[in-house]
Structure 1
């Protein structure tokens, strides 16, 4: 077994004087990283925290989180990353699942503290966690209504990090952008592959960077590589119409969503010397287990995920568990030499793996739930899902978890949840049997329990959900109703845009009227009017993606520039009205010229999601 902290410590000693992590506020050498991590480890040991204990790391991406992760591992404990932008209920659910015996709060230095255990958790950490190969606990959406806690291994993580570094020649000459937030296992490759390689990890300053800001950051820091999801790439490209190419970028690793050939072609115009790599693999198998170097002239349509990493094998099986011939679709099963250890459920380990017989050999593999087929060249193509799991912005979402949260509200009698295509990406739509007047209360309730990417972008209230003769929900009819509802929202919004554009003196209308039109357009509310001007953007259907679209639209409409984070600080309609009134009254040298603002496409995406939500 190779512990991940061993790789990091080795890099810190080898590249001691080189810059490990940098931002505009601070730069940290590799030797300083090791020293600060040692201090965290010493504080944890002084509290008798070590092997078998889970330590929650609270905060956001940046140098402090990296220091804390290395420090926890040096103490012998298990890392649990908890982004401080998550709803409090979800954070507590995560911390209780270990349960976390201590926390390192990175929001203000490194505050190390024992964490009081909840009732029924008193005593030692579950014996199932007393294994030196347990490295971290990561979470994915769960079909039971609770997030799944997956215990990752040092061996598997080390194996992947070393492979990625070696396969793509990552080293001290590289500067990687650190764009992934905490609470997702992707954070580990985003932050640690560069660091075990002697590269510099560059951290953006703004928590919520818009597309223009990201591109400027990449250029200023001469970034050579990064990880991202295709939906993020689409937003970057939409903002890059007048952006000069960035030749310094040589590696971009895509994962989490289907990667389209047209996107790759556009991408290579902006990043002319960049190798695009498509990665694939679920958390249960320890990061990616497939990779594909996309050629400069990509095939049309969705790109394959290619071949297995060393020590990994994938099998496409039919409904009877038999191997599918090449070109025939079936469910993808991945057998990795170093997978995760399984799910942590009520203090015990539960295996997600199934036993297969492949050519007479016993194989333990993870049934991904993804449909795929083997291409003639031996590569793997992913075709979609065989169940209700979806991905939005690379985040795995079990629709049943969203449905469970909705049904737990007292105003709801029944609910159906599905995903529909909207203007920029998939969105979650909820069809609810209940009182439509409770929508505001229901949105607030869900906002305190679900990640923002899981929140329904639209609610359709019906007096009764349609049923089949056997009494089960008519999923086909409900999905069609949701689709029509989303299309009708889009139609009303388009009509409102057209009407507003044709009105004489439209630019002379009040800030409130212009803001209301954009809110209803971007959030999908159609022609409105907005019923409650004290509501915040998420209360009327806004999401972590569309608030960035709102940011772009407001800048274009009012001819001003301001950081995206201001919309989170001023989340309600009236707060944004007051904010826009103040910035548009400022001197004209703060306002871009007409050519600079004309033709900017709707764009950008939240890289981290903190909702400034008004509580009841």
Structure 2
């Protein structure tokens, strides 16, 4: 199986002048990308630990630094340039980089290791001799927030990245001539699909850099003639609010790919209403499984039958495996993942590694190392549907239930963006305002009473002008609770 570096170099050799990265003010070719990556590699290889912290805006220089790290046999950790200073400092202290790619003023605020070399993303580099040491097993470390909010480093091996990228090409049909979006920040592992998917298969990568393109993404899709779109499903709500989830703005897109959240039925319906000849891929996977490890393909002819309130996320890809364990029957339970895309460990956290990465006995008796996700799912009529987090299993009036059932019921009655939570033995919920519809709490509760058991109906429901989002464009559950408790609606 070719490595991602070999794939990039092959593309650069075959179509050197083809567009690799298309920024607003400049287009960079594959030859330029390979050259810049090699220049970074020469610097990164000199570090004693060969650890590279990349704190840069999405774009040509950040992508070249990532490939350069892999060329050098190093391990990199990407962080969003707008992360809080506390988060940056915490990650820097944990990762102990010997090279930091960031503008000097930003890098200085990280309190980096005393021996760390700081390189500005666009700094002119002098060629260095190659390193003779064997490459590190770990390709990159993504620091997620985790349930406590403290950065948790997920160490992804090179073999896992290679396996995932090998699947991407044929599954998405990426090739020269495609123009792929790059909407997530580089510190969010969903960006791995954009970056390596496009640049290892000859497509042109279009980063959504400025604030305007992130807030009104459909306009850039239209202007850049994007053919392949990838994001968390919540970004569709942004397009919908702007009244741009339509054929005029999405005309060029042949493939929509989603991961990171539940893909709602109404969003799938609106995508196919706008682009009936497009394909929609819904995928699932925690950061610990190298972005995504399942896939479900939809067309205009089959999506309606498969989708309930949400879209199923499909079966395991390639040599990956997904099992459901600990449920009431064999078709429901916690998602347990095994296969070549598994992360190796949590950075500097052996206790958490031992807790989450454990031996798992397969139906044939073989014992494999597996990741216990804490996510619950159910199989029904050949499809697999996400139910919620194990943490979302609550006890209300003596009954155990998933709070996700409340959100799904709210979606059914016309409130597609909803969050439910338990506090003090009671259920509460918040919905996002729907344009042209009046919110009446008593009416909503009455409608829910026809769908849910009495103990599952929230004691109070509030309507927010907009759901708070985190840095990765996902709904921020902690902020929803805080807004609820403060009485704020915006």
TM-score > 0.5 by shorter chain: yes
State the SS of the aligned residue for 1:157.
helix
Asked if the contact 1:137–1:150 (Cα under 8 Å) also holds between the matched residues in 2, the reply is yes
Matched, 1:364 2:369: yes
State the SS of the aligned residue for 1:382.
strand
Q: Specify whether residues 64 and 245 from structure 1 end up closer, same or farther in structure 2 by C-alpha distance, changes over 3 A only.
A: closer
Matched, 1:196 2:216: no
Residue 116 (structure 1) shift = 3.9
Greater RCO (Cα-Cα under 8 Å, separation 6 or more): 1
Residue 99 (structure 1) shift = 1.9
Matched, 1:254 2:252: no
Matched, 1:374 2:379: yes
| Mapped partners of 1:426, 1:88: distance in 2 | 31
Q: How does 1:79-478 map to 2 (within 5 A)?
A: 79-105=76-102, 116-117=112-113, 132-209=136-213, 213-238=216-241, 239-240=243-244, 244=248, 246-296=250-300, 297-298=302-303, 299=305, 300-301=307-308, 302-318=310-326, 324-325=329-330, 328-345=331-348, 350-351=353-354, 352-358=356-362, 359-377=364-382, 379-388=383-392, 425=417, 476-477=423-424
| Mapped partners of 2:352, 2:98: distance in 1 | 18
TM-score (normalised: structure 1): 0.59
Asked if the contact 1:102–1:113 (Cα under 8 Å) also holds between the matched residues in 2, the reply is no
The equivalent of 1:49 in structure 2 is 47
Residue 10 (structure 1) shift = 2.3
Listed as ranges, the gaps of 5+ residues in structure 1 are 120-129, 390-417, 430-474, 496-520, 525-541, 549-616
Q: Specify whether residues 267 and 241 from structure 1 end up closer, same or farther in structure 2 by C-alpha distance, changes over 3 A only.
A: closer
Asked if the contact 1:281–1:288 (Cα under 8 Å) also holds between the matched residues in 2, the reply is yes
| Cα deviation 1:454-492 (Å, max 9, x = unaligned) | xxxxxxxxxxxxxxxxxxxxx643654x54xx58999xx
TM-score (normalised: structure 2): 0.73
Residue 240 (structure 1) shift = 2.3
| Cα deviation 1:522-580 (Å, max 9, x = unaligned) | 778xxxxxxxxxxxxxxxxx94589x9xxxxxxxxxxxxxxxxxxxxxxxxxxxxxxxx
Listed as ranges, the gaps of 5+ residues in structure 2 are 116-133, 394-402, 440-462, 474-490
The equivalent of 1:77 in structure 2 is 74
| Mapped partners of 1:91, 1:489: distance in 2 | 34
Q: Specify whether residues 95 and 116 from structure 1 end up closer, same or farther in structure 2 by C-alpha distance, changes over 3 A only.
A: closer
State the SS of the aligned residue for 1:192.
helix
State the SS of the aligned residue for 1:24.
coil
Residue 104 (structure 1) shift = 0.7
The equivalent of 1:460 in structure 2 is none
| Cα deviation 1:428-459 (Å, max 9, x = unaligned) | 99xxxxxxxxxxxxxxxxxxxxxxxxxxxxxx
RMSD of aligned residue pairs (Cα, Å): 3.7
Residue 168 (structure 1) shift = 2.3
Q: Specify whether residues 424 and 99 from structure 1 end up closer, same or farther in structure 2 by C-alpha distance, changes over 3 A only.
A: farther
Equivalences, count: 407
